Amino acid sequence: CQLLGMNCASPTDFTFSFKGFLQRGGETDIHRDGWGVLFYEAEGSGIRQFHDSNPASSSRTANFLSDHPIHTLNMMSHIRYATVGGVELSNVHPFSREMWGINWAFAMNGDIPMFKRDPKAKLEALKVPNDSPCRDERYYHPIGSTDSEAAFCAVLNALRVQFQHLPSLPVLQDALHKLCNEIIMEDPEGTIMNFILTCGPHTQWVYSWPGSRPGSTVWNGLHYTTREYPFTNNCQLCDIDIAVNFSSTNKENDCVSVIATKPLTENEEWMEMSRGELIVFDQG
Distance CA 218, CA 212 (A): 6
> Considering just the CA atoms, what is the radius of gyration of the chain in Å?
18
Which strand (E) or helix (H) includes residue 112? none
> Is 1 annotated in the active site?
yes
Contact 33, 25 (CB under 8 A): no
* Amino acid (1-letter code) at residue 274: S
Distance CA 162, CA 156 (A): 10
Q: CB 72: neighbour CB atoms within 10 A?
A: 20
Beta bridge partners of 279: 206
Distance CA 55, CA 80 (A): 9
Contact 281, 225 (CB under 8 A): no
Q: Identify which of 57, 43, 36, 34 has the alpha carbon closest to the alpha carbon of residue 11.
A: 43
Q: Identify which of 194, 175, 173 has the alpha carbon closest to the alpha carbon of residue 184.
A: 194
Q: Which residues are catalytic?
A: 1
